Amino acid sequence: MKKNVRGKAKKTCKINVYRDTFCNEFNLAFHKPKKDQCSTCTIYYEKKQRGEITNEDEEQFQEHQTKKEKSREEKRLDKERAKTDRSFTAVTFDLEAVLPTPCSMVGDLFYKRCLSTYNLSFYSLGDSKGTCYLWDETNGGRGSSDIGSCILMHINSLAEKNSAVEEITYFSDTCGGQNRNQFVTSALLYALNFHPNLKAINHKFFERSHSEMEADSIHSSVERAKKSTKVYHPSQWDTVVSMARKRNPYIVIPVNYRDFYDLKGLKTDLNINLKKNSFGRNNQLAESQVDSGNERKSRKCIF
Ligand SMILES: [Zn+2]
């Protein structure tokens, strides 16, 4: 580093001084992101380095960035509203990586075929409450019907606990097999019909690879708790998850195979004709909205 950014000559330190200061004086290190990188952003920056950016690439990247910012802004506004408006609830939800049974630091167990437990976590943005729906693979899978059934249970519980709630907004990633599909939307419409107090349920999606959800903080806590725990029976995960946060512990709801609905059948029974709304899939923030409209009879379901 002979010259500074403005091109003026400036005396610089040698690399060993940096190394000594960073490693010995402060014990600092550069953060390496562990999460999967966004393929759109990575390809764009690699092309930029090679000087191969076309106008179309630039346009697509800017659109990607706009969608990313818009979804964050939507969540920020909904979070603010949820803190003050009792009739409105905003929730983020996500499925954690599988929790294996048995689970311990013994190396041999790593190579055994383990029983998977799934944890679908809901984080309420207004009051920071975390609710986790847990089931093992003998009770259910992780497809659209399983996820949609848990959302349905969550809506039922919200409507029971707070009769003033009229509007619920869910935020999730765009995983088509789990979250963004017509079966989950059918479940939302069913819930809207079932609870007379509810006027609208919104399902908002983050831009692909840029989901920033508070629900992920639940998963980080569970992963931390997992390191110092031994699990030999799937039901022990209920305790591990509920104790993962000391202050304001997470509520754990064990889910049984009887609790899951056949949402594919529900969609057929409801005779829902889902079609793309005027926003389409290329909207800045794709949104699946279930709105009651002016009359309770005229339900509409826009996907
Ligand atoms: Zn990106």
Assign 34 a pLDDT band (cuts: 50, 70, 90): low
Distance (Å) from CA 15 to ligand 1 centroid: 33
Compute the mean pLDDT over every residue in the chain, rounded to the nearest whole number. 84
E-only strand ranges, the chain? 88-95, 99-101, 115-124, 130-136, 167-172, 200-205, 251-254, 287-291, 300-302
Distance (Å) from CA 174 to ligand 1 centroid: 14
- Note the pLDDT tens digit of each residue in 143-159: 999 999 999 999 999 99
Q: What is the pTM of this model?
A: 0.80
Assign 298 a pLDDT band (cuts: 50, 70, 90): very low
pLDDT of residue 208: 86
Phi, psi torsion values for 11, nearest 5 degrees: -70, 130
Distance (Å) from CA 210 to ligand 1 centroid: 6
Distance (Å) from CA 89 to ligand 1 centroid: 28
- Note the pLDDT tens digit of each residue in 39-83: 899 999 999 999 998 999 999 999 999 999 999 999 999 999 999
What does the block give as tokens for 292?
A: 């009651």
Distance (Å) from CA 41 to ligand 1 centroid: 4
Contact 150, 230 (CB under 8 A): no
Distance (Å) from CA 221 to ligand 1 centroid: 26
Q: In this model, does residue 272 exceed pLDDT 60? A: yes
Q: Which residues surround ligand 1, an ion (CB under 5 A)?
A: 38, 40-41
Distance (Å) from CA 69 to ligand 1 centroid: 11
Q: In this model, does residue 295 exceed pLDDT 60? A: no
Q: Which residue, among 265, 253, 76, has the nearest Cα to 153 in the 3D structure? A: 253
d(CA 215, CA 142): 17
Distance (Å) from CA 68 to ligand 1 centroid: 8
Q: In this model, does residue 8 exceed pLDDT 80? A: no
Angle between helices 182-194 and 144-161 (to 10 degrees): 20
- Of 14-23, 147-156, 214-223, 264-273, the poorest mean pLDDT is in 264-273
Distance (Å) from CA 150 to ligand 1 centroid: 29
Distance (Å) from CA 39 to ligand 1 centroid: 7
Distance (Å) from CA 100 to ligand 1 centroid: 31
Distance (Å) from CA 213 to ligand 1 centroid: 16
Distance (Å) from CA 230 to ligand 1 centroid: 37
Distance (Å) from CA 126 to ligand 1 centroid: 28
Distance (Å) from CA 233 to ligand 1 centroid: 39
Distance (Å) from CA 121 to ligand 1 centroid: 24
Paired residues of 289 in beta bridges: 202, 302
Distance (Å) from CA 57 to ligand 1 centroid: 13
Q: In this model, does residue 246 exceed pLDDT 50? A: yes
